[in-house]
Structure 1
Amino acid sequence: MARMPSFLKPPKKIAKRQLELRAQLWPDLNEGDLWSRHTHDGFSTIPSTMALIMSIMDDLSKNKPVSSTYLELWNRSFDEGFATLAKAREIAFHSGFSSERAERTWKDRLKILHNLEFINLQSGASGPASYALILNPYKVIQKHHERKTRGMREDKYNALVARAIELGDISLRPADPSPPPTPMAPPAAPFTFPLPAGSAVPPSPAAVPSAPVPPTGVPTSESSKV
């Protein structure tokens, strides 16, 4: 049996404590009744704050919940951070829309997510919404908090910041102060085309000496004839 990569394993002490507690709470548990990414395929990597993020985006979407649409997009993306939307009817159904207007409603939710800047839509073979780039939700929510967007609740934002710090996510960390301006570099030498091999460099034109300027008050040869 292949050994599980170390980066997929939880810290040993934490895992051991959790397993001991689970054994106490559910002593008759059959391990096969659980779903684990270590033994099953078809999983996505999501922020541990996803439930709170989804709650915040629903607050921002003006009574048109977008969180199920967003989660389905996330689950169809990989580490590249974008989803292909060719199967519109299927994605709409998986997002929770099953009426005759399912696809139209789903596209409306996509537009809201785009306008709120949680995603960026691009056109393609499937129409104006063929691809969706999924942006960092922490950064998007931070922008709405700074803009005081209607629906942005202070308590939920503060909870998101606290949980991000607890998890070690640096997305909401204040930006570092701007570095001092870099001194301007001296102007570059003017560009000249190289001469063909064997060509002689033309001599510079000889400088024309300027006529001497006579001292003030001393008559010139022309003025002495007057």
Structure 2
Amino acid sequence: MALLTTRKPRKKIAQRQLELRKKLWPHVTDGHLWQRLHHDGFATIPRTMPLILTIMDDLANGQPVSMTYLDLWGRAFDECFVTLSKPREMAFHSGFTGQRAERTWRGRIKLLAELGFIELQAGASGPMSYAVILNPYLVIRRLHEQKHVGSGRINITR
């Protein structure tokens, strides 16, 4: 049986970073900052998320899906699972307003599923009640192998 190891906190590095921040910006207090351990509504994202979002939009052929995906990511906890029970709110947070906001949002959700970035399940809110967010690196790698993503951007999955 293999032993699972956990990462040790990088306390020394974090302490040095904190000291440097205080030296460079002495006027900035903790109250001026968004500290994910002290606030609700946070999400941990890959450092390459901007590139991932750009690749998604390139794949979507003129129907940008990145803000819809980012809203889903922000709503997901460590389980990578989102309940899609507030389509109007989710559409607005994805940047869609007006009469067709929810319809446009649903189209983007469907496109994210077609591309393989999420999987959908039916439930009380209809055919798109739940979504699971899949590892974007693996999705992009698969799409690259299928010749949908150019090699210039694929290096993020290595």
What is the deviation of 1:21? 2.1
Looking at structure 1, the residues matched to 64 and 127 of structure 2 have their Cα atoms a distance apart, in angstroms, of 22
The 4+ residue runs of structure 1 with deviation greater than 4 A are 7-10
The letter for the 2-side match of 1:96 is G
Please name the residue that 1:33 is paired with.
Answer: 32
Looking at structure 2, the residues matched to 42 and 8 of structure 1 have their Cα atoms a distance apart, in angstroms, of 24
The letter for the 2-side match of 1:61 is A
What is the deviation of 1:27? 1.9
Please name the residue that 1:68 is paired with.
Answer: 67
Please name the residue that 1:116 is paired with.
Answer: 115
Looking at structure 2, the residues matched to 91 and 128 of structure 1 have their Cα atoms a distance apart, in angstroms, of 16
What is the deviation of 1:9? 8.6
Please name the residue that 2:20 is paired with.
Answer: 21
Looking at structure 2, the residues matched to 83 and 114 of structure 1 have their Cα atoms a distance apart, in angstroms, of 13
What is the deviation of 1:54? 1.1
- Residues 94/140 of structure 1: CA separation in 2 closer, same or farther (3 Å cut): same
C-alpha distance after superposition, 1:105-150 (max 9, x if no partner): 001101110110101112222122111121111110000110111x
Higher gyration radius (CA): 1
TM-score (norm 2): 0.88
RMSD of the TM alignment (CA)? 1.9
The letter for the 2-side match of 1:71 is L
Looking at structure 2, the residues matched to 100 and 9 of structure 1 have their Cα atoms a distance apart, in angstroms, of 50
* Count of equivalent residues: 153
What is the deviation of 1:23? 2.1
- 1:155 pairs with 2:152: yes
Please name the residue that 1:224 is paired with.
Answer: none
Larger relative contact order, structure 1 or 2 (CA cutoff 8 Å, min sep 6)? 2
2:118–2:134 contact (8 Å) kept in structure 1: yes
The letter for the 2-side match of 1:154 is S
Looking at structure 2, the residues matched to 82 and 54 of structure 1 have their Cα atoms a distance apart, in angstroms, of 19
TM-score (norm 1): 0.63
Q: Percent identity?
A: 60
Q: Secondary structure in 2 aligned to 1:99?
A: coil
Q: Secondary structure in 2 aligned to 1:154?
A: coil
Q: Which structure: greater helix fraction?
A: 2
The letter for the 2-side match of 1:108 is G
- 1:133 pairs with 2:132: yes
Q: Secondary structure in 2 aligned to 1:79?
A: coil
Aligned residue runs from structure 1 range 1-226, under 5 A:
10-149=9-148, 152-158=149-155, 160-161=156-157, 172=158
What is the deviation of 1:55? 1.4
**Contiguous gaps of at least 5 residues in structure 2:** 1-5
What is the deviation of 1:10? 5.0
The letter for the 2-side match of 1:93 is F
Q: Secondary structure in 1 aligned to 2:45?
A: coil
